């Protein structure tokens, strides 16, 4: 799942160079997109930040939307790269879930600008591309579901089987809320306080 589904064609032959330049393009574009939004960012601006001419930029992509796709893909895989290695399945299900929540919520805090951007601009992607991006969310949900299911099996958690999916969604949404409602929450809570409060509540619900 590290590589994108879609192959975007380019004029340039050298595969490694394409990879390298595209990473530069993404790095240049992501900040502009997050700051100004996709529509208000011009290809010229991206090229300028990228340090090359518009013409060159178009050697590596076909359309402006390709850049959006690359950026979304980049953000999405950054998430994946950060969560996966940080998730330790331990014999103690409570500890495992606590750790997963902590990891996920901290990642959201670090990447809040990207997260908000993803939610706001995915509708500008084609239907197929959007599905691919949503896939990342489903993968994450699956991870939480698995942890909860293990906990139920070993008797740590009490939860109706057909509520596991919903509970996994709740965990994720309560984390994402930190980014989406920062205008309210980040006035009254610190990240640590927020994680502690939400985490305690979720765990208590599962164990009582």
Partner DNA sequence: AAGCAGACTGAACGAGCGTTCAGTTTGATG
Partner DNA sequence: CATCAAACTGAACGCTCGTTCAGTCTGCTT
Residues that bind a copy of itself (CB under 8 A): 37, 39, 119-120, 123-124, 134, 137-138, 141, 163, 165-166, 169-170, 173-174, 177, 180-181, 183-185, 188-189, 194, 197-198, 201, 204-205, 208
**Residue closer to a copy of itself, measured from CB, 89 or 197:** 197
Alpha carbons 183 and 189: distance in angstroms, whole number: 11
**Residue closer to DNA, measured from CB, 58 or 180:** 58
Q: Which does 55 bind (CB under 5 to 8 A by kind): DNA, a copy of itself, none?
A: DNA
Which of 101, 122, 123 has the alpha carbon at shortest distance from 176?
Answer: 101
Q: Which does 41 bind (CB under 5 to 8 A by kind): a copy of itself, DNA, none?
A: DNA
Find the shortest distance in angstroms from Cβ 43 to DNA.
Answer: 4
Q: Which residues bind DNA (CB under 7 A)?
A: 11-14, 17, 21, 40-44, 52-56, 58-59, 62-65
């Amino acid at each position: 799942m590290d590589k994108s589904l879609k192959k975007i064609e380019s004029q340039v032959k050298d595969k490694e160079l394409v990879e390298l330049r595209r990473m530069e393009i993404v790095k240049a574009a992501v900040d502009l997109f997050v700051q100004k939004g996709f529509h208000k960012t011009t290809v010229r601006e991206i090229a300028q930040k990228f340090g090359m001419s518009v013409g060159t930029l178009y050697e590596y992509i076909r359309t402006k939307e390709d850049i959006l796709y690359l950026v979304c893909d980049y953000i999405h895989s950054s998430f994946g790269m950060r969560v996966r290695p940080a998730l330790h399945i331990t014999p103690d299900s409570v500890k495992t879930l606590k750790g997963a929540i902590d990891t996920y919520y901290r990642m959201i805090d670090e990447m809040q600008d990207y997260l908000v951007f993803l939610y706001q601009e995915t509708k500008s992607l084609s239907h197929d591309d959007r599905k691919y991006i949503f896939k990342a969310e489903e993968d994450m949900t699956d991870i939480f579901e698995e942890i909860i299911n293990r906990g139920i099996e070993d008797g740590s958690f009490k939860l109706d089987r057909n509520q596991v999916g919903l509970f996994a969604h709740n965990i994720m949404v309560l984390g994402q809320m930190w980014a989406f409602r920062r205008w309210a929450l980040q006035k009254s809570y610190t990240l640590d306080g927020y994680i502690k409060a939400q985490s305690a509540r979720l765990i208590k619900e599962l164990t009582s």
